[in-house]
Structure 1
Amino acid sequence: MDSPALTRAQAQDAVAGLGWRLLLGELVTAVPLDSLAEGAGLLTAVAVELGPDGDAHLRADLRPDRLRLAVQDRARGVVTATDVELARRVTELVDRPVDPVGETGVQELEIAVDALDIPAVRPFWAAVLGLVPQPGDEEALVDPAGRLPAVWFQQMDAARPQRNRIHLDVTVPHDVAPARVAAALAAGGRLLSDDAARSFWVLADVEGNEVCVCTWQDRDAPGEVSPAG
């Protein structure tokens, strides 16, 4: 029997002391490295430790300076108690500091498309970018190789030609978001809205191009609003 999906708050609270953060429905961490060889050895040890569970839940990205690890029920696109347990096992095995918020920290990027008729435009974006429906949320599109940003579609009630129809959503750890917003404003950005904070802040550059800084927070209530976290 599949483990039930955890709420965002339950998932983040369960790994609060382990150095993992919830980003876009995954538990994510990063391990600083001194070399690619060091990371390869560590990843091999993690894969052996998790066995078949790793195939079903773990995604890894190895670079010379960091090993990024993410756990999620891949078939369903949710975080469960199984994923929390896997995060604990990985943390114990790694036995070194992890860094979800520092120089080797974690973040995710999505492209948001405002659309009046989502079923009409979504197939185009899937085809042109080589994307597939996201497990657990088929209205969003993801790269099966895990390389390109996800694309999701925001339902519009009426055309708004005076603003951009495509914007970026950068999802960061909840404890990084205020500093990221402040840095963007200090770099010349404008705050368009913080009505949905802590869920997301809407910013723009000096020419009006928009970006949302997003977190998982305040999204578990009924009627939650997009951007998705």
Structure 2
Amino acid sequence: MEWQLVIDCREPSRLVAFWAEALRYRPQPAPDGHATWRDWYLSVGIPADELGEGDCADRLEDPTGAGPRIWFQPVPESKSIKNRLHIDLKVGGGRGVPLARRRAAVDAEVARLTGLGARVLGSMDDPDNGYYSAQLADPEGNEFCVV
């Protein structure tokens, strides 16, 4: 079975740009025979007035083929409540890595992601249990963690 992650959003191109860099993914090319996703959407009957401007690049893929594809589905409403599902970016190496090194790796990734447009919502620093993570939001407010 194949599966993809679908993220509702107002501006797919904005989130494609952010998450491509955040995950080290790349925009998924348009289907064969179509120069852009916009061309493909028009070919399957999506009205032009529903597509907005640009090439409608709204999908990402893992260049290694290991991770799921991600589709940023345009919706009319803005995000209004906490996510019921979120992404954890695991950069610390796990509990086998000393906490100080994991903390440094998490902090470095948080700095990189805030430079891309994320904002920090908080952190969990529990040295007694050997745990450290940061909670962030992408440019549209979708929460995710860096651990």
TM-score of the alignment, normalized to the shorter chain, above 0.5? no
TM-score (norm. length: structure 2): 0.34
- Highest relative contact order (Cα 8 Å, sep 6+), 1 or 2? 2
TM-score (norm. length: structure 1): 0.23
